């Protein structure tokens, strides 16, 4: 069986406060399949840093990866226009989408994600909870998982 292709989305220009979390998530996701977007978890990547690629190249490459993915996992605690856009495109493409957020941000999630019944939007408060969500979503019946074990 071929390995699962996982598109991971996390804030870049929306702010890098959660970058350590993204790195942890990318490492966890790597146990379930190939993570196409490992750079999102790069601790050295800042919202203002320089990169070799133009915005156009980044956009084209990320959309190609998104189209070719089997599942999308988005960390949505830090609001990001790019992540919101990727989630919307993934929905239109019919991809299974898991949106994860942690406690500790006092702002509420956007209603456009929290209120969308076609997304699986789950909170985690510990690494154990996070791992349980990933396991349930990526290992078994991933499109149907809604947070109840």
Contact 147, 120 (CB under 8 A): yes
Residue among 12 and 121 whose Cβ is closer to ligand 6IA: 12
Contact 149, 132 (CB under 8 A): yes
**The three-state (H, E, C) secondary structure of 4-61, written as one string:** EEEEEECCCCCCCCCHHHHHHHHHHHCCCEEECCHHHHCCCCCCCCCCCCCHHHHHHH
User: Cα(91)–Cα(71) distance, rounded to whole angstroms?
Assistant: 11
147 binds ligand 6IA (CB under 6 A): no
Q: Quote the least distance from Cβ 141 to ligand 6IA, whole Å.
A: 25
Query: Which residues within the stretch 82-141 sit at the binding site for ligand 6IA (CB under 6 A)?
Result: 82-83, 86
In this structure, what DSSP letter does residue 2 have?
Answer: P
27 binds ligand 6IA (CB under 6 A): no
81 binds ligand 6IA (CB under 6 A): yes
| Secondary structure of residue 140 in the 3-state scheme | coil
37 binds ligand 6IA (CB under 6 A): yes
18 binds ligand 6IA (CB under 6 A): no
33 binds ligand 6IA (CB under 6 A): no
39 binds ligand 6IA (CB under 6 A): yes
Residue nearest ligand 6IA by beta-carbon distance: 82
Region of 26-34, 46-54, 92-100, 128-136 interacting with ligand 6IA (CB under 6 A): 46-54
List the 97-102 sheet strands across, edge first.
33-35, 4-9, 71-75, 97-102, 120-124
**Chain residues that interact with ligand 6IA, rule: CB under 6 A:** 9-14, 37, 39-40, 45, 47, 49, 51, 58, 62, 80-83, 86
């Amino acid at each position: 069986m071929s390995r699962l292709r996982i598109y991971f989305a996390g804030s870049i220009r929306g702010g890098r406060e959660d970058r350590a979390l993204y790195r942890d998530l990318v490492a966890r996701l790597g146990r379930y399949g190939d993570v196409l977007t490992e750079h999102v978890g790069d601790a050295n990547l800042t919202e203002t840093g320089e990169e070799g690629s133009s915005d156009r190249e980044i956009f084209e490459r990320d959309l190609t990866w998104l189209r070719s993915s089997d599942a999308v996992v988005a960390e949505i605690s830090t609001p990001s226009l790019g992540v919101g856009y990727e989630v919307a495109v993934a929905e239109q493409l019919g991809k299974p989408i898991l949106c994860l957020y942690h406690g500790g941000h006092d702002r509420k999630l956007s209603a456009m994600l929290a209120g969308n019944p076609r997304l699986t939007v789950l909170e985690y408060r510990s690494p154990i909870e996070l791992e349980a969500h990933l396991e349930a979503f990526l290992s078994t019946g991933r499109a149907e998982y809604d947070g109840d074990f």
